[in-house]
Structure 1
Amino acid sequence: MDSAYQPLPPSVHVYRRTDSLDGHPFIAYYVSARLKDKHLLFSDQVGQGKRFTPSQYYQLEQFPLLVVNCTFFSFETSENISMVMKDGKLVAYSVPSLKGRGDDSLVYYYPTRGAIGIDRKRRADVAWVFTDSSRLRPYAFEEMPVVAKGEVSDPSIYDLRDIEWKWWKMRTAVGGGPVLIHDGRIRITYKEEQLFSGGEQDKHPRTAMGYTKDGILIVLVIQGRAPGVAEGATLEQEAKLLFDLKCYEALNLDGGGSSSMLVNGKPTIRPSDKEGERPVPAVFLIRERGGHSH
């Protein structure tokens, strides 16, 4: 679909798929971008306590090549509940704890949720992360998500018990969940991340990001909630699509009415909210160094 979204640099392509998925009407777009292309800048932006539509970010951020929604957030406070790293520093934090239900109501669960990051050498990584607002960097778990619980609502890394972590030294990173593909195989950790429990068979609009072994970043958006036109995808269908696109690791991001991607300011999928694009508190961006003149 490159011709519909020009001007594009040679290392970026736009694809659309409209053939059915498992016999159901399906529409999806993805962008592929070469991570090592020095003409591309991979970054993100947060709304500083406000939410903006992708089209508003496109204007505010001086016309980036790509704008896509990413983090989960609270409708009540408009705050991100997924981490965001910008220029090597945390600018938004993951939700620190979830209150138990029923018999567990005195207990807090400490989720480690999926995030995708790009470091200074332009290498991508998907890990399960834990953030502490007194630290500049997130803690990353590269082998498996940590499932921990305790009695404090604002845990530190020590409340997760004795486990192997490392500082996640990313330049740009956005959180979401669950992880869909890790170390080359499909591994959907929605239970461990405590996301969508019971809803794993539900079809929704989706946003996801992944990367291939040879350094291609893939940004996927799936249209949904449009019966007879585009029915969306389950987490498993989404994971298989990304696997078929050769992703070595991949992550689900906030979906539903938030799913929206603009390339050169032009829409791809049609957002599912009847108002159109939903205002979100963070976006992932790809810019061209030097940019285009408008």
Structure 2
Amino acid sequence: MNSSSLPQRSIVRKKKKPARKRKKRGFFRTVFRVFMFCLILLIVAGGWLYLAPSAQNTRYLIADTLITTQHRYMAKYIIGEDELKNRVSEYTERFQEMGDEVDTHVIEPEPVVPEDKPLVEIEKVNGSGYAGYVMIVNDPKKVRLGVPNKIGSGEKVSSMVARTGAIAGVNGGGFADPNWKGNGFKPIGLVVSQGKLYYNGLGGKKSTQIVGLDKEGKMIAGNYTLDELSKLGVQEAVTFQPRIIVNGKGQIKNAAEGWGIAPRTAMGQRADGALIFVVIDGRQPGYSIGANLYDVQQIMLKQGAVIAANLDGGSSTVLVKDNEILNKPSSQYGERYLPTAFLVFENPEQADIKNIWEGLDPSKIDAGKKRTR
């Protein structure tokens, strides 16, 4: 019994070894084939992206999206350095044109919040590749422009809301942001709060594109001089662009003109005076990649906006309600320090918003200086 069984076990072992080798060879063959398939697919896709005329819109979409990030320089690898410069120049000129048409919209003389509606209404909004929020402020006179309370540093919107007693807040205008590590204290252009010019960074420029409100709560957006803003009685305003809706008409024809995909913030107004804030998250695959300006424009039109303009977006995009951040800011460091925010108050006359830039020379403010906490 024992002598006959030993050779049988030996034979069985010899049969298993070749099977294992075949399995290993088969596994490596499969991995190699998958690798080669992916490599060929990458080469074909790359060839199509860089060489095919039909891929032009895709190339520009990728480039425009990169332009909105801290990696703008990478866009030259998609469309070339000269084309990158041309693209940025074209957008600058186009944005300027979008702010030139005279705005003739009017709102109800005394916007009143209906008894069955709260001052602030918030709803989620979703689209192809993006998710975010729409905030309606039913009384535009309840909005003030918040600014930081500490020299040398911007302030988080959530902090502004908590400190001033606001019930809601959205990020406002842009700021000097060297290497995307700015301290948030040096705004770009103008800052107007409670009817007073808090900051003038125009330098030699005579006009700037602003987004703001006048004494009656009417939204003002477009290209204006300081004298024009004064005559219009502008109360709250920041510099930013482009204006995307004027006199009820969208200014962006299609998605190809939408300036890439990114987190977005925008402000608009309905004919009844209610303000519309659109906040779109981005740069978060699986949740929200972001939206282009055409997407934002269409959301605004659907909400009934007769005027609307872009605000600072990207990693600055944030919406705060009742001391809670509702959206998901894209910055890896969390909510950013900013120079301005549109804040909503139940009793705006009680808001204590001091001019932190009073007596400072804009040209001497260090935008990249480390914050002191």
TM-score by length of 2: 0.55
Q: Does 1:93 align with 2:194?
A: no
Alpha-carbon shift at residue 41 of structure 1 (Å): 2.3
Q: Over residues 202-240 of structure 1, what are the superposed CA-to-partner deviations in whole Å (9 max), with x where a residue is unaligned? A: 100011100011111001110001123101111111111
Match of 2:156 among 46, 53, 56: 53
What secondary structure does 2:215 align onto? coil
Higher relative contact order (CA 8 A, sep 6+): 1
What is the distance in 1 between the residues matched to 2:268 and 2:147? 21
Q: Which amino acid aligns with 2:306?
A: Y
Is 1:205 the counterpart of 2:260? The answer is no
- 1:12 and 2:120 correspond: yes
**Secondary structure of the corresponding residue to residue 278 of structure 1:** coil
How many residues are treated as equivalent by the alignment?
225
Which has the larger share of helix?
A: 2
Q: What's the counterpart of residue 80 of structure 2?
A: none
> Aligned with 1:229: secondary structure?
coil
Please list the CA deviations of residues 156-177 of structure 1 after superposition, one character each: whole Å capped at 9, or x if unmatched: xxxxxxxxxx733112223311
SS at match of 1:30: strand
2:323, 2:244 → 1: CA distance?
Answer: 28
Counterparts of 1:164-179 in structure 2, within 5 Å, are 167-179=231-243
Instruction: Go from structure 1 to structure 2 and tell me whether the alpha carbon gap of 1:254 and 1:223 turns closer, same or farther (over 3 Å shift).
Output: same
Q: Which residue of 64, 89, 94 corresponds with 2:166?
A: 64
Partner residue in 2 for 1:107: none
Q: Please name the residue that 1:258 is paired with.
A: 316
State the distance in 2 between where 1:187 and 1:95 align. Answer: 25
Does the CA-based 8 Å contact 1:178-1:188 persist in structure 2? no
Residue of structure 2 in register with 1:157 after alignment: none
The structure with the largest strand share of the pair is 1
User: % of aligned pairs identical?
Assistant: 25
Distance 1:224 1:112 in 2: 31
CA contact (8 A) 1:64 1:287 kept: yes
1: CA distance, partners of 2:257 / 2:214: 33
Q: What secondary structure is seen at the aligned counterpart in 1 of 2:300?
A: helix
**Which AA in structure 1 matches 2:135?**
V
Could you tell me which amino acid in structure 1 is paired with residue 125 of structure 2? Answer: R
Q: 1:71 to 1:9 in 2, by over 3 A?
A: same
Local SS of the residue matching 2:296: helix
**How many angstroms apart in 2 are the aligned matches of 1:209 and 1:51?**
21
Tell me how far apart the structure 2 counterparts of residues 244 and 233 of structure 1 sit (CA, whole Å).
16
**Structure 1 residue 244 corresponds to structure 2 residue 299:** no
Cα offset, 1:95, TM superposition: 3.8
Which whole-Å deviations, capped at 9, do the CAs of 1:94-135 have from their partners, x for residues lacking one? 5446xxxxxxxxxxxx5844323222222222232234xxxx
Match of 2:325?
Answer: 267
Provide the TM-score with structure 1 as the length reference.
Answer: 0.69
Note if 1:81 corresponds to 2:139: no
Query: Which sections of structure 1, spanning at least 5 residues, go unmatched?
Result: 1-7, 98-109, 132-137, 141-165, 190-197
- Structure 1 letter corresponding to 2:234: M
Matches within 5 A, 1:43-192: 43-47=144-148, 48-61=151-164, 63-76=165-178, 78-93=185-200, 95-96=202-203, 110=205, 112-131=207-226, 139-140=228-229, 167-188=231-252
Measured at CA, do residues 199 and 239 of structure 1 come closer, stay the same or move farther in structure 2, by a change above 3 Å?
A: closer
Q: Is the 8 A contact 2:269 2:308 kept in 1?
A: yes
Q: Distance in 2 between matches of 1:269 and 1:119?
A: 28
Change (3 A) 1:94 1:216: farther
Following superposition, the deviation at residue 55 of structure 1 comes to 1.8
Letter in 1 for 2:177: F
Equivalent residue in structure 1 for 2:136, among 22, 27, 32: 32
